[in-house]
Amino acid sequence: MPDRSGTGVGSRREDRETALGILYAAEHAEHDLITELENQALTPEAFTEDLVRGVAQYQDEIDELINQFSQGWHIDRMPAVDRSLLRMAVYEITHRPDVPTQAILTEVVELASDYSTEKSSRFVNGVISGIAQEKRRES
């Protein structure tokens, strides 16, 4: 059985996918993120909860970074899925130094490919790569 504590590598993809669903649902239902998180039928895993709560807590800072690195695309004009993915990834980059940058990039780009438009994976990759280069000195 996989480690569902949020520390196992195999669980993080699923946790990010669940967090994406919560972020997206909150935006479309016009609920705040914490309400949407707490209204889940099943209790989310610890890593999922951390992602959602982190985005909620630092959303203004996160959105500012996204706007700075999105080169002419204000966050309000982006598809909701892209906005949610970017917010989640930026939270991880800026507040979860225990998560490798490459893991964040790979999984968020894969989620963009799975759930958004054709061009989204390249756009998301470019924005997140720029933010990661500025905020982290690893790779």
Q: What is the domain count for the chain?
A: 1
**pTM for the predicted model, two decimal places:** 0.87
* Domain presence at residue 63: yes
Residues whose CB falls within 8 Å of the CB of residue 40, separated by 6 or more in sequence, listed in order: 22
Distance CA(53)–CA(51), nearest Å, equals: 6
CATH number, position 124 = 1.10.940.10
* Domain presence at residue 3: no
Q: Which amino acid is at 113?
A: S
Distance CA(102)–CA(85), nearest Å, equals: 15
Cβ atoms of 44 and 73 closer than 8 Å: no
- Per cent of the chain over pLDDT 90 is 71
Q: Is the dihedral of CA 31, 35, 37, 42 positive or negative?
A: negative
* Domain presence at residue 104: yes
Distance CA(60)–CA(43), nearest Å, equals: 26
Residue 1: band (very low, low, confident or very high) from pLDDT cuts 50, 70, 90: very low
* Domain presence at residue 2: no
Stretch 29-52: mean pLDDT: 88
Q: Which amino acid is at 127?
A: V
* Domain presence at residue 29: yes
Q: Which domain holds residue 100?
A: 9-135
* Domain presence at residue 1: no
* Domain presence at residue 4: no
* Domain presence at residue 114: yes
